């Protein structure tokens, strides 16, 4: 490193750059079961404090879709020592930023601060875990806010039902709660009562169901002491029983139509049910997405958008989750192209994957792309914190932050072909026509 960069105050840590790729971390449990992960990187005076709770939309009670996400909003309302409405002001007044998000599987809260506010961040998250104030005022206000969030993100947004899976998952899952959406329905949101929120907190928001991550410009020993002071006294709760629902395999092609009043160009999507994100096959499918649609030379883009000009855009992505995933392949028609034509071409591309090995050159291309992705994935402290918590909680293997690339490196061309054969079957998929809804 050259010394005219901004790092000269941290000369001691320059050796760190020798291991540029590796994210060093230590992890341990407190007596109350809270899992702690610490990552020290003193190159910039920034610290992220994050807590991930192992509870998401899939843990919701029947008739209470959207509850976990609604609850996430409530946990910004204040604590016994933080007055209502003050949470965001405290963060801002200390130069920080914060947010939270909820998925089917987990809920994650974090603050990023200049590193001199580390203790403040620990205090705030421990306050939230120990004694948040959950009251009717908060429930009433956040009920409206969450509904507006739903309108903004889904109901008023072009292709919102595909982007947020609300137009897909009900077809893909029959028994598993993944069939419901994270944002929930207006009726269910209205039905949620104060008592239920309190019970939800008692059941899921315990240290033994959470992972605390602290990353950035910290001193490991001092940070450990502070964590013990702030989080140590929080009592643990009962062990959480995980959702354990097995879906029957899809036996017959599902054909469906959804309408969106915010679009003018339809979308054809083919959706497959895939295994847990932890499964090796999920990684293979991820590579297949890249092969099909990432970059202008990717198979579907080149053929459908560029050469044959039948599609305005193509897409393929895996939505990975803890118990199952969905795998979406789709295209927007260009001009008069019919949705049937798009399906036919997508099917040809899928068949090609199943019948032929990808070329050596394409294989090397995939490896280069994943190496590039890996290097970029750990480029910010906030991002590293989120990844550490996710790998620990959902994959049960924090080391993946450094080792996941090895999984991709070990996937062979033959495996890609096998996985394409195993999952991308016509009789096991949803064929969705996503059409404009007329309203004029």
Partner 1 sequence: MKRNIVTLIVFCLVATGMMAQIDRSEMPKPGPAPKINIGEPKTFSLKNGLKVLVVENDKLPRVTASLIIDNKPYTEKKPGTSSMVSALLGTGTENISKDKFNEEIDFLGARVSFGSESASASSLSKFFPRVMELMADGALNPVFKQEEFDSEQKKLIESLKSNQKDVGTIASRLSSALAYGENHPYGQYTSVESVEEINLQDVENAYRNYFVPENAFLVIVGDIKKRQAKKLVKEYFGDWKKATPPGTTLPQVKPAQYTQIDFVDMPNAVQSQIIAQNTVDLEMKDPDYFPVLVMNQILGGSFGSYLNMNLREDKGYTYGARSSIGASRYASRFRASAGVRNAVTDSAVVEILKEVERIRNENVDSDKLEDTKKKFAGNFVMRLEQPSTIASYALNIETNNLPEDFYETYLEKINAVSVVDVKRVAQKYLKIDEMQIVVAGKGSEVAENLEKVEFNGKNVPVLYFNKETEKIDKPVFSKEIPEGVTVETVYDNYIKAIGGKSAVDDVNKVMMKGSASIQGTVITITRKLTKDGKQIEEVAMQGTTMQKDVFNGQKGYVEARGQKMDYTEDQIQAKKKTAGLFAELKVPEGVELTSIEKMNDEDAYVIQVSENIREFYSVENGLKLATETTVEQMGQTATTTMKYSDYQEKNGVKFPMTLSQDMGPQTLDIKIEELKVNEGVSNSDFE
CB of residue 173 to partner 1, shortest distance in Å: 26
- Residue (of 297, 437, 413, 409) closest to 353 by Cα position: 413
Helices 400-410 and 280-293 meet at what angle, rounded to 10? 70
CB of residue 204 to partner 1, shortest distance in Å: 22
CB of residue 389 to partner 1, shortest distance in Å: 19
CB of residue 359 to partner 1, shortest distance in Å: 11
21/397 with CB nearer partner 1: 21
Query: What are residue 30's phi and psi, to 5 degrees?
Result: -80, 165
244/379 with CB nearer partner 1: 379
Rg (CA), the chain: 23
124/284 with CB nearer partner 1: 124
Cα 186 to chain center, whole Å? 23
CB of residue 172 to partner 1, shortest distance in Å: 25
257/427 with CB nearer partner 1: 257
Name residues whose C-beta falls within 8 Å of residue 242's C-beta, 6 or more positions apart in sequence. none
- Residue (of 144, 148, 114) closest to 216 by Cα position: 114
CB of residue 422 to partner 1, shortest distance in Å: 26
Q: Are 258 and 323 in contact (CB under 8 A)?
A: no
393/432 with CB nearer partner 1: 432
92/357 with CB nearer partner 1: 92
Q: Are 68 and 100 in contact (CB under 8 A)?
A: no
CB of residue 244 to partner 1, shortest distance in Å: 34
278/369 with CB nearer partner 1: 369
Sheet of strand 311-319: strand arrangement: 254-260, 429-436, 267-275, 324-333, 311-319
For 238, the token pair is 């009962």
- Residue (of 381, 393, 379, 392) closest to 49 by Cα position: 381
β-partners of residue 333 are 311
Q: Are 225 and 398 in contact (CB under 8 A)?
A: no
β-partners of residue 46 are 114
372/410 with CB nearer partner 1: 372
CB of residue 156 to partner 1, shortest distance in Å: 5
């Amino acid at each position: 490193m050259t010394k005219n960069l901004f790092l000269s105050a941290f000369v001691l840590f320059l050796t760190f750059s020798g291991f540029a790729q590796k994210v060093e971390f230590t992890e341990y449990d407190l007596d109350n079961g809270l899992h702690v992960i610490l990552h020290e990187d003193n190159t910039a005076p920034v610290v992220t404090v994050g807590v991930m709770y192992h509870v998401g939309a899939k843990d919701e009670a029947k008739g209470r879709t959207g509850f976990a996400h609604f609850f996430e909003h409530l946990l910004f309302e204040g604590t016994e020592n933080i007055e209502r409405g003050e949470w965001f002001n405290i963060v801002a007044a200390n130069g920080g930023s914060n947010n939270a998000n909820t998925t089917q599987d987990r809920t994650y809260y974090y603050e990023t601060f200049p590193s001199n506010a580390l203790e403040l961040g620990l205090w705030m998250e421990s306050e939230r875990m120990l004694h948040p104030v959950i009251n009717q005022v908060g429930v009433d206000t956040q009920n409206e806010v969450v509904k507006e969030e739903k309108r903004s993100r889904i109901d008023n947004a072009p292709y919102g039902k595909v982007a947020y899976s609300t137009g897909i998952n009900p077809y893909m899952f029959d028994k598993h709660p993944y069939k419901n959406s994270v944002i929930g329905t207006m009726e269910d949101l209205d039905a949620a009562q104060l008592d239920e929120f309190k019970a939800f907190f008692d059941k899921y928001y315990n240290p033994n169901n959470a992972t605390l991550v602290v990353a950035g410009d910290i001193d490991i020993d001092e940070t450990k002491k502070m964590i013990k002071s702030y989080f140590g006294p929080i009592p643990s709760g009962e062990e959480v029983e995980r959702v354990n629902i097995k879906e029957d395999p899809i036996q017959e092609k599902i054909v469906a139509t959804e309408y969106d009043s915010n679009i003018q160009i339809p979308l054809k999507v083919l959706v497959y049910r895939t295994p847990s994100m932890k499964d090796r096959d999920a990684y293979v499918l991820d590579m297949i997405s890249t092969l099909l649609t990432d970059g202008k030379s990717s198979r579907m883009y080149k053929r459908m958008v560029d050469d044959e000009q039948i599609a305005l855009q193509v897409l393929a992505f895996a939505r990975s989750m803890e118990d199952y995933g969905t795998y979406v392949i789709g295209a927007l028609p260009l001009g008069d192209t019919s949705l049937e034509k798009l399906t036919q071409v997508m099917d040809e591309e899928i068949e090609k994957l199943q019948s032929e090995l990808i070329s050596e050159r394409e294989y090397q291309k995939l490896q280069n792309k994943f190496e590039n992705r890996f290097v970029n994935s750990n480029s910010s402290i906030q991002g590293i914190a989120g990844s550490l918590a996710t790998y620990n909680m959902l994959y049960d293997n924090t080391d993946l932050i450094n080792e996941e690339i090895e999984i991709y490196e070990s996937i062979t061309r033959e495996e890609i072909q096998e996985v394409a054969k195993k999952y991308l079957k016509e009789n096991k998929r949803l064929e969705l026509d996503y059409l404009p809804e007329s309203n004029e």
